[in-house]
Amino acid sequence: MASADLGGLGAKTGPPSAYNWVLPSVAPLLLPWLALLALLAMKPNRNGAAWLIWLPVGCALAITLLPLTLPSVFDSLLDVFAALVFGVAAVWLLSTYLRRPHRLVTFFCILFALAGFSLLAFVSKQGANLLDLEWLPFAIVLGVGVLTSTVALSLGGWICRRRFRPVGLCVWMLVSLLAVWVAISAPFFIFALIASGNQLPWSEFFIPVFGIAVGNFALLLPFLILSSASPFFCARLKSLLHVQPAAPPPLHELAPATNVPT
């Protein structure tokens, strides 16, 4: 029985309190995994190459399992990171359905699919904590991550639409992520700068922003590597990004036949 000396505030010990602890259900944690399995069962994904999607998922989620001593706020950010991993995997598996004739319509299809599956994974991880509002700021961060990832993917595809190169796409996506995260954070920095009387150092604000952008890129990188190594996912990514097919090599006219004297 626990006890504490409260001095003149009350008795040192009190009556015992009974509490029945129930093992929390693991069913909600399985929801994002079951969702990916359901997507793999769809007709366009009935291919052995589609199961390679588990490789980038495993690589990205391995980052969240590193034995690091971090503040509790970073644990919640890792939940956001993991939720985005499942969202990107869903987009890769749904790419044949998300691709539309118009690039803007494709952008919104990617945005809604990424948001839906990421939110499913995030909510399943929270469990009983949904009754608290402590998860709300991290849900906002998740929403921003969904938006920046979709914008970076669309911008990278638009820039590489004529000449697709995996390395070039990765570079442009990193640049796009940095630009989008800075653009989103800039109004908050200006507000904080005014509130502090121009006493807020730039480094204390933008270095974490750059770190988040690099982390966002690290999340997408395993999927981009898969798309560069697997012809199955490479064709899907090109279609999703509206990459123009390579022009066939020009045919050279054959020289007219000449009679050779015998």
How many helices and strands, by DSSP H and E, does the chain display?
Answer: 9, 0
- In this predicted structure, what is the pLDDT of residue 16? 66
Q: Is residue 9 part of a domain?
A: no
Q: Kindly give the confidence (pLDDT) of every residue in the chain, 262 residues in length, as a single tens digit, with 9 standing for 90 and above.
A: 555 665 656 555 666 666 565 545 666 778 899 999 999 999 999 999 999 999 999 988 887 776 655 556 566 778 888 899 999 999 999 999 999 989 999 999 999 999 999 999 988 877 656 566 677 888 888 899 999 999 999 988 888 888 778 888 888 889 989 988 888 888 877 877 777 777 767 777 778 888 888 888 988 999 999 999 999 999 999 889 888 765 555 555 545 556 655 5
Contacting residues for 87 by C-beta, under 8 A, at least 6 apart = 113, 114, 115, 116, 117, 118, 121, 146
Q: What are the tokens at 106?
A: 């494709």
Domains held by the chain: number:
1
Q: Is residue 51 part of a domain?
A: yes
Q: Is residue 70 part of a domain?
A: yes
Q: Is residue 135 part of a domain?
A: yes
- Where in the sequence is the domain holding 74, given as residue range(s)? 26-240
Q: Is residue 226 part of a domain?
A: yes
Contacting residues for 146 by C-beta, under 8 A, at least 6 apart = 84, 87, 111, 114, 115, 118
Q: Is residue 96 part of a domain?
A: yes
Q: Is 47 exposed, middle or buried (0-12, 13-18, 19+ CB in 10 A)?
A: exposed
Q: Is residue 134 part of a domain?
A: yes
- In this predicted structure, what is the pLDDT of residue 68? 59
Q: Is residue 209 part of a domain?
A: yes
pTM for the predicted model, two decimal places: 0.79
